[in-house]
């Protein structure tokens, strides 16, 4: 039995996205191309891997075995990329400037400051909260050394030339429910909800649009916000439901009465660190900070 690793990765994307059309969006393929890959996989494996239901595509028992194999392969590749990113024998010294967003600062970077002061006294870490487009521009110019990026369900395109992406953390999307509302048990319970929309440039906006596609209906939205703390406060005031990543919920202040639900099919937010790749970059100091970030992210995953 010769099973393609690429095709089981496509199957995993269909499972995570909840359907062939949504997976096609994530993979930047046509739905027919995704369906063809699934058919070829079924021919290779000699089993049916998907059941198509009104609510979306559901893995068969055989499909679940193959999707779990795809996850293990993905995990091994992530570990390999991390180890390659950390190979450096220099003594790290110097200033490392990181551009990122609020939730990553609170949950990932602030805990690193005291650790780096003790373990790497030769490094000065400078954290700058920055909008993604501006941060990437400064990374190209050389005024930032590392930039944290967020994407919904592994939709980050390949980095441009002379750049490299290091996967940092995958975290679940969560539904945040206003006080007095029943906790949802399935995605279909969310159809009639009114939602607090997120800034179109954020991963949360893509996750909400993906949820709309999975449910097969437009979602009712009210307000547009780009700060997750403000979103939590608005949910607490009963202004709508919201979809937020784990870090935003766990590092923020959840108002009294607000219910946080984890539902199958909501997908994940991926955090990635981008850095320049030249003859002299990343510097040993940037690599050391990246290593500390990876250790911190691994601790969050284990927790």
Residue 267: Cβ within 10 Å count: 27
- Whether omega before 282 lies within 30 degrees of 0, making that bond cis, reads yes
How many angstroms separate the CA atoms of 139 and 276, rounded? 7
Residue 128: Cβ within 10 Å count: 15
**Domain count for the chain:** 3
Q: Are residue 176 and residue 232 in the same domain, yes or no?
A: yes
Q: Cα–Cα distances in Å, from 189 out to 185, 242, 244?
A: 7, 14, 17
Which of 62, 85, 108 is the endpoint of a domain? 85
> pLDDT tens for residues 3-39?
888 899 889 888 887 788 888 877 777 888 889 899 9
Choose between 167 and 91: higher pLDDT.
167
Question: What is the Cα gyration radius of the chain?
Answer: 20
Which of 85, 116, 148 is the endpoint of a domain? 85
Looking at residue 24, its pLDDT comes to: 82
CATH number for 262? 3.40.190.10
Q: Are residue 215 and residue 182 in the same domain, yes or no?
A: yes
Minimal CA–CA distance to 281: which of 96, 83, 124, 79?
A: 96
User: In the structure, what pLDDT confidence band is assigned to residue 302 with cuts at 50, 70 and 90?
Assistant: very low
CB-CB contact of 152 with 269 (8 Å): yes
CATH number for 40? 1.10.10.10
Q: Are residue 195 and residue 177 in the same domain, yes or no?
A: yes
How many angstroms separate the CA atoms of 19 and 31, rounded? 10
Q: Are residue 78 and residue 35 in the same domain, yes or no?
A: yes
Q: What is the mean pLDDT of residues 164-190?
A: 93
Structural domain range at position 74: 5-85
CA angle 145–148–152, rounded 5-degree value: 155
Q: Are residue 278 and residue 149 in the same domain, yes or no?
A: yes
142: left (phi over 0), alpha (psi -120 to 50) or beta: left
Q: Are residue 248 and residue 286 in the same domain, yes or no?
A: no
> pLDDT tens for residues 113-160?
877 887 788 889 999 999 898 999 999 999 999 999 999 987 777 888
Q: Are residue 192 and residue 237 in the same domain, yes or no?
A: yes
Q: Are residue 186 and residue 261 in the same domain, yes or no?
A: yes
- Residue 5 class from Cβ within 10 Å (0-12 exposed, 13-18 middle, 19+ buried)? exposed
Q: Are residue 30 and residue 54 in the same domain, yes or no?
A: yes
Q: Are residue 151 and residue 275 in the same domain, yes or no?
A: yes
Looking at residue 55, its pLDDT comes to: 65
> pLDDT tens for residues 237-281?
999 999 999 988 887 789 999 999 999 889 999 999 999 998 888
Q: Please check the confidence at residue 54 and state whether its pLDDT lies above 90.
A: no
CB-CB contact of 123 with 94 (8 Å): yes
Looking at residue 239, its pLDDT comes to: 96
Which of 67, 85, 103 is the endpoint of a domain? 85
pTM assigned to the model: 0.69
Q: Are residue 160 and residue 285 in the same domain, yes or no?
A: yes
How many angstroms separate the CA atoms of 4 and 11, rounded? 11
Q: Are residue 199 and residue 215 in the same domain, yes or no?
A: yes
């Amino acid at each position: 039995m010769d099973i393609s690793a690429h095709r089981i990765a496509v199957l995993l994307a269909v499972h995570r996205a909840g359907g062939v059309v949504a997976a096609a969006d994530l993979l930047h393929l046509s739905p027919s191309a995704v369906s063809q890959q699934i058919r070829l996989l079924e021919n290779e494996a000699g089993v049916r891997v998907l059941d198509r239901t009104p609510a979306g595509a559901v893995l068969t028992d055989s499909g679940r075995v193959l999707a779990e194999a795809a996850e293990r392969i993905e995990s091994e590749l992530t570990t390999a990329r991390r180890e390659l990113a950390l190979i450096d024998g220099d003594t790290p010294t110097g200033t490392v400037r990181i551009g990122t967003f609020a939730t990553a600062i609170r949950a990932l970077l602030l805990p690193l400051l005291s650790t780096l002061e003790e373990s790497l006294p030769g490094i000065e870490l400078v954290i700058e909260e920055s909008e993604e487009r501006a941060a990437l521009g400064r990374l190209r110019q050389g005024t930032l050394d590392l930039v944290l990026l967020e994407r919904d369900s592994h939709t980050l395109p390949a980095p441009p030339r002379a750049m490299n992406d290091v996967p940092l953390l995958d975290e679940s999307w969560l539904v945040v429910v206003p006080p007095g509302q029943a906790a949802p048990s399935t995605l279909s319970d969310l159809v009639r909800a009114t939602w607090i929309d997120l800034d179109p440039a954020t991963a949360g906006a893509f996750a909400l649009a993906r949820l709309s596609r999975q449910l097969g209906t437009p979602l009712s939205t009210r307000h547009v916000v780009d700060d997750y703390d403000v979103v939590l406060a608005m949910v607490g005031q009963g202004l709508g439901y919201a979809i937020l990543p784990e870090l935003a919920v766990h590092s923020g202040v959840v108002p009294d009465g607000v219910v946080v639900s984890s539902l199958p099919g909501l997908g994940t937010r991926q955090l990635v660190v981008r850095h320049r790749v030249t003859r002299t970059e990343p510097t040993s100091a940037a690599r050391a900070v990246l290593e500390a970030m990876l250790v911190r992210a691994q601790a969050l995953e284990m927790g």
